[in-house]
A = this chain, B = another copy of it.
Amino acid sequence: MITEELFASTAVSSWKQVVGRLNDAVASLTDEQLQRQVAPDKNRVIYIVGHLVAVNDRLFPMLGLGERLHPELDDVYLTNPDRKLPDPLSTEDLKKAWSDVHGKLTAGIEAMAPLQWLERHSAVSEEEFAKEPLRNRLAVLASRTNHVSFHAGQLVLTR
């Protein structure tokens, strides 16, 4: 492997490891487990799962990987706090949304050419990017990987 492949593969591998650990955990959640709060008066598991689907779904346009699959989840799981709005999806459909978003996203991430990771992401302007070249796609991937880890640490408390 050449240098840029090694750098890019390490970042992609970190994403796959963090998301991979949650794929099985999410798929096996029961209705009762989804309604548990990670701590008293804190977010329910279902909110965190929906939140991660919504936030990671936004990576499609940010990384140039196509259209979002579930923009309708933003209102419930991103813009508003837990329990403000009713959960819009059945357990089965929420798990399918998780699987669809992370499956398609990971395939797109794996297919990206190494140097594409250093390109601008769509939420930064060309002018800003010229001044701050670290606001690249790789930085977004690292940030979202950390974001998944952050909430994974909360989900594990309900086991």
Contact = CB atoms under 8 A, between A and B. Distances in A.
A4 B8 CA distance: 10
Number of identical monomers bound together in the oligomeric complex: 2
A10 B138 contact: yes
Contacts of A157: 38-39, 42, 154, 157
A7 B118 contact: yes
A147 B117 CA distance: 23
A63 B18 CA distance: 22
Interface of A: 1, 3-4, 6-11, 13-14, 17-18, 38-40, 42, 115, 117-118, 133-134, 136, 138-139, 142-143, 145-147, 149-154, 157
Given A10-B139, A42-B157, A146-B146, 15 more contacts: A3-B115, A4-B4, A9-B134, A10-B11, A10-B134, A10-B138, A11-B142, A13-B139, A14-B143, A38-B157, A39-B40, A39-B157, A40-B40, A150-B150, A152-B153
